[in-house]
Structure formats: C-alpha cells, structure tokens
Amino acid sequence: MIYLLKRADRIGYDEYVAKIIRASSEQEARDIANTNTGDEGQLWTDATRVSCEPLDAEGASGPLLESFNAG
C-alpha cells in the first residue's frame, strides 16, 4: 500500500512537509517516515500532528506530491 503523510502543524525551515511511503500498514508507514527526518524530528507517528491517508496505486498520470516550503 502507498500512504500519504501530511503535517497539520506549523512547518519551519529544513523540515519535511509531507512524505509518500510504501508500507504494509499505516503504523509501518509512520515508523518508516520517522527514520529520515529534518529539523521537525520524529513526529510522524503522532496522529494529532500528521495525517496518514492510503492512496490507490491506480489512477490518472500526474504528480503524487508537490511540497514546496522556502523562505
């Protein structure tokens, strides 16, 4: 399964805004997201700060995620 994890809290510099993770479960996706973080630290398992939505691998061509945060 493919999961889209998106932050719902305040985003600073040198931090991930969102991630797309392939995993067998939501918990595994969150754990994988925590293995590579920026200044935001390991917040990806916190459901109050990060949403996790399963994505269908089928569908129209196009971007899955475009995440831009610059000063």
- Report if residue 60 sits inside a domain: no
Q: How does pLDDT run across 5-58, given as a tens digit for each residue?
A: 999 998 888 889 999 999 999 999 999 999 989 889 999 999 999 999 999 888
Give dist(CA 49, CA 8) in Å, integer: 5
CB 69 within 8 A of CB 17: yes
Domain that holds residue 35: 2-55
- Report if residue 14 sits inside a domain: yes
Q: Strand 2-7's sheet: what is its strand order?
A: 18-22, 2-7, 50-55
pTM of the predicted protein model = 0.83
**And the tokens for 18?**
């969102």
pLDDT at position 21: 92
- Report if residue 16 sits inside a domain: yes
- Report if residue 67 sits inside a domain: no
Number of domains in the chain: 1
- Report if residue 71 sits inside a domain: no
**38 alpha carbon, distance to own chain's centre:** 12
- Give, as one character, the DSSP assignment of residue 63: -
